[in-house]
Amino acid sequence: MNKVFTDALSALHDLQDGTTLMLGGFGLCGIPEHCISALVQKGVRNLTCISNNAGVDDFGLGLLLQNHQIRKMIASYVGENAEFERQLLSGELEVELIPQGTLATRCLAAGYGMPAIYTPAGYGTEVAEGKETRVFGDKTYLLETAFEADYALVKAWKGDRLGNLVFRATSRNFNPLMAMAGKITIAEVEELVEPGALDPDHIHVPGIYVHRIFVGTNYEKRIEQRTVRSRA
């Protein structure tokens, strides 16, 4: 099976309106930049996006928000995006805010083939409204279902032609979990190598989870808020 595609547009060739997407990254670190740009170029709409965050106004998922391509946003942190706030308050965007640990574990459950998890996070708050609860020991837990995503879009440091992936430093955040969870996982990598070139002990996601892979170039690697110390 040939998993290698020439670019993001070809890798996303069959993604349609109304799709549910998982997008790796934490803040702007390790986000699938080229896949997001391809989604903007394709103009697909009514997307449901599952991501740690909503990007910033002019980068990441913020680009899709600017074009009104996202119908629903499922995330744990959205505080860096003014356009997100405007669409939320105006009723243009459906939003589901989830505790970050719950978000990660629902991705993990999907990758492991588990239909649901129990978590204490959110009990006694609006997060628990309408959800099944169960007591274990002396603590009450919420039943949270595993995510169902048509595609998972992730960004890795290195990958081989079989789809094995290696993430570098902090970019190993939500990417491995989401790569395991998507029905179709598309990985963009900074470097593509031949099978056998990667140390098996250093592979973070086995190729069995990855269906398509391509090389991206000219990554911006932005920082949302740069804080520096003033000189004495």
Give me the percent of the chain exceeding a pLDDT of 70: 100
CB atoms closer than 10 angstroms to residue 205: 25
pLDDT at 225: 74
CB atoms closer than 10 angstroms to residue 139: 10
**53 CB-near residues (< 8 Å, 6+ apart):** 25, 26, 27, 60, 61, 75, 76, 77, 78, 80, 81
| Domain annotation covers residue 198 | yes
pTM of the shown model: 0.93
Q: How far apart are CA 22 and CA 31, in angstroms?
A: 11
| Domain annotation covers residue 63 | yes
Task: State the pLDDT confidence band at 232, using cuts at 50, 70 and 90.
Answer: low
How many domains, the chain?
Answer: 1
| Domain annotation covers residue 132 | no
| Domain annotation covers residue 135 | no
| Domain annotation covers residue 42 | yes
Q: What is the pLDDT of residues 34-64, one digit of tens each?
A: 999 999 999 999 999 999 999 898 899 999 9
Flag whether pLDDT at 222 surpasses 80. no
- Domain span at residue 33? 8-115+145-215
Flag whether pLDDT at 196 surpasses 80. yes
Here the CATH number for the domain that contains residue 109 is 3.40.1080.10
| Domain annotation covers residue 178 | yes
CB atoms closer than 10 angstroms to residue 68: 13
| Domain annotation covers residue 134 | no
| Domain annotation covers residue 46 | yes
